[in-house]
Amino acid sequence: MEKLKVIGIFVGMFIIIASITAYFSQNLKSDSDSEYDTRSDKVKAWVIAESQIERSLKAPSTADFQSYNESNVIYQYNKGTYMVSIYVDAENSFGAKIREYFNVEVKLN
C-alpha cells in the first residue's frame, strides 16, 4: 500500500512537471524570436506597409494614413513576418475620398 502511494506521488509530480514544461515551451519566445520583435522593427514594418499601400492607390498624393499604432503590428513567429493592419483615407478614381483597410505582410531582412 505504501509503495502505491509513493508511485502515485511520483506519477503526479511527473505529470505536473511535464505540463509546466509543455506550457513554457509553447508560450515563451526563444531568444532568436525575441530579437525580431522589437519596437523599431515594428515601426519599420509600418513604414514599409505604408509605402506599399501608397503605390497601389489611384491618387497617392491625397492619402491620409492612420497614425502609427503598435498594437496593429503583429509579429508572426511561425512565418517570421509582421502583419500590419492599417487604414488610409484617399481619393478614388471618381475623386471621392474613401477609407480603405489593408492587411500587409512584411518580412524584414
- Which band of pLDDT confidence, cut at 50, 70 and 90, is reported for residue 78? confident
The C-alpha atoms of residue 19 and residue 1 are separated, in whole angstroms, by 27
Stretch 31-53: mean pLDDT: 80
Report the range of poorest mean pLDDT among 18-32, 34-48, 67-81. Answer: 18-32
pLDDT at 20 over 70: no
Query: Residue 109 has which C-alpha cell?
Result: 531582412
Q: Is the pLDDT reported for residue 56 higher than 80?
A: yes
Confidence of residue 39 (pLDDT cuts 50, 70, 90): confident
- Residue 6 class from Cβ within 10 Å (0-12 exposed, 13-18 middle, 19+ buried)? exposed
List the domain boundaries for the chain.
Answer: 1-30, 36-106
Residue 1 in this model has a pLDDT that exceeds 80: no
